Amino acid sequence: MHIPDAFIPLDQAIVYWIIVLPFIALSVRWARREMDDMKIPLLAALAAGIFAIQAMNLPIGMGTSGHMVGAVLAAIILGSPWAGVLLLTLVLSVQALGFADGGVTTLGANILNMGVISGFVGYYTFIGLKKVRLSMPVAAFGGAWLGLFISSIVCSLEMTLAGTFPLVPGLIMMGTYHAIIGVIGEGAITAIAVSAIAKARPDLLSQFSKEAVPA
């Protein structure tokens, strides 16, 4: 799902940067307000883990790959979708600038897809499923799966607008692969991790129902 530089024209890439920059600024504001001595090491551990799981790329075709994202996992554990935005901004920036994984000009689009869209869709899906009294692992699975799937669809639409992908084949290819990855990877790993943390350290998940908009 990492979009390379050549896949989106510069003028469109700038638009995605303009859209995502306020989200990045608000995620930094959230971190300054909410991060404490307990959460900072957790944030670092999640960043390292997300960086590692994103290294497992599955070739899809048309020069793209499919992989897990991790924004929903970070959002659930840290109690806010802004955590997903912040972590994915850090991880994707290191990947683009240090490892040439994803483009630099398209970094805004990649953060928008994997940090903002995946994180917000997945986190609030998780909240909604919890409110209808589904178990935490099931809610985490549903949120992680939907967040990944929707972000892959948006990614396809962006590349269709750029003239890189034909619309229908692109949607089918990206949607199908990420629907599968969402089940066997993103959804399952998120559910297992959240369930394990809920049993070992339930205090870490106590903030998932709080309002998640920076003041």
For residue 59, what pLDDT is reported? 61
0.75 exceeded by pTM: yes
Arithmetic mean of pLDDT, 2-15: 92
For residue 57, what pLDDT is reported? 66
Q: Mapping DSSP to helix (H, G, I), strand (E, B) and coil, where does residue 64 land?
A: strand
**Higher per-residue pLDDT: 199 or 109:** 109
- Is the pLDDT at 63 greater than 60? The verdict is no
- Is the pLDDT at 8 greater than 50? The verdict is yes
CB 73 within 8 A of CB 189: yes
Which residue ranges form the domains of the chain, and what is each CATH number?
5-205 (1.10.1760.20)
Arithmetic mean of pLDDT, 19-26: 97
For residue 64, what pLDDT is reported? 60
Query: Over the chain, what HEC string results?
Result: CCCCHHHCCHHHHHHHHHHHHHHHHHHHHHHHHHCCCCHHHHHHHHHHHHHHHHCCCEEEECCEEECCCCHHHHHHHHCCHHHHHHHHHHHHHHHHHHHCCCCCCCHHHHHHHHHHHHHHHHHHHHHHHHHCCCCHHHHHHHHHHHHHHHHHHHHHHHHHHCCCCCHHHHHHHHHHHHHHHHHHHHHHHHHHHHHHHHHHCHHHHCCCCCCCCCC
**Confidence band of 111 (pLDDT split at 50, 70, 90):** very high
- Is the pLDDT at 62 greater than 60? The verdict is no
- Is the pLDDT at 206 greater than 60? The verdict is no
**Confidence band of 51 (pLDDT split at 50, 70, 90):** confident
For residue 213, what pLDDT is reported? 39
CA distance 198 to 73: 13
For residue 211, what pLDDT is reported? 40
Arithmetic mean of pLDDT, 117-145: 94
Arithmetic mean of pLDDT, 162-184: 88
Arithmetic mean of pLDDT, 15-38: 93
Q: What is the percent of the chain with per-residue pLDDT over 90, rounded to a whole number? A: 54
**Confidence band of 94 (pLDDT split at 50, 70, 90):** very high
For residue 181, what pLDDT is reported? 85
CB 71 within 8 A of CB 190: no
For residue 41, what pLDDT is reported? 87
